[in-house]
Amino acid sequence: MSTTYDQPVSPAMVADAVRGHVGGSVDAVRQVDGFVGNQDFLVATPHGDFVLKAMGAHSVVAESWACGRAREAGVPAPEIVAVDLDTAILPLPYLLMRRVPGGPVDDTHEAIVEVGRRLRALHEIRVEGFGLLTGDPEALGGPAPVAPRGRESSWSDVIARPLSDLDDFVARDVLDAALAERVRSTFAVNTSLLTGPRNGVLLHGDLHPRHVFAAGDQLSGIIDWGDATAGDPAFEFGRFSRVGDASLDLLLRGYEPDDAALVRHTMVLYRVLWSLYAIGWEVRAGGDWVDGHVAAVREGLDVLGG
């Protein structure tokens, strides 16, 4: 299976690309850890610091669109400086964005309350389809640009996708058979809680404190929109709930969900679902960061009594 690491991007290539977009010199380029399917770089220049993400073209289009729509809604996503899909400079498509000032918050930073407030606006943005966004590179910049859409036709398809991978996870010794059966039975019992919205809305898709930046006491940005998703707002809380109750309480205080008790139960199911997705992404991309996700699946099932 081909991954982005079959087409390595060097710091020298990145420096050339950034100079072409911002002009002047580049002081330093440093590769940073990220998802195994991306190659990410922090670039320092006299014009400020930038982040370059090299990845598949569909992902570049989807992430750049999600950041732009979020910013229009008042959500402090990164400012996109350039999108390049032609691979003339780098061997992979990439997007270049300004680095958000400040740094990641800890789990109890008050900026998380403000994130909850901003999510309310984000979750008003309708998106076609359901699930992870994918963008059409051919439509970008055309006379009638086509917005990215979710990859699935229904929310039930989003839920079914990782459940259909359970046998493969067992075969790969990622999950044991008993745990896989617990997952199946728990989701079967709770089907009525997972109907999802009639229309998908824009979700960050991978929200946690490391992706929340603050400068002092103030929220300065929400980074890493590579998992932007069309779906159920409670799925956002399910992902975030892996951080722990104290941090989740701050987020929900800012968001003020209409039915907090129902959201809290449903989001545990979604926490398990997101963890199953994460296992699949790692396995298919050739990564091995699965132990934490497996532990989260087991813990979530314990909470649900499954």
Mean pLDDT by 10 residues, the chain (306 residues): 68 96 94 84 96 95 96 98 92 96 96 97 96 83 73 95 97 96 95 86 97 96 96 95 94 89 84 96 85 96 88
pTM of the model: 0.92
CATH superfamily of domain region 104-304: Aminoglycoside phosphotransferase (APH), C-terminal lobe (3.90.1200.10)
- Taking the C-alpha atoms of 242, 245, 246 and 251 in order, what is their torsion angle to the nearest 10 degrees? 70
Cα-to-chain-centroid distance, residue 264 = 21
CB 139 within 8 A of CB 83: no
Q: Where are the domains of the chain?
A: 4-99, 104-304
Predicted confidence at residue 276, as pLDDT, reads 97
Predicted confidence at residue 279, as pLDDT, reads 96
Number of H helices, E strands in the chain: 10, 13
Assigned CATH for 4-99: 3.30.200.20
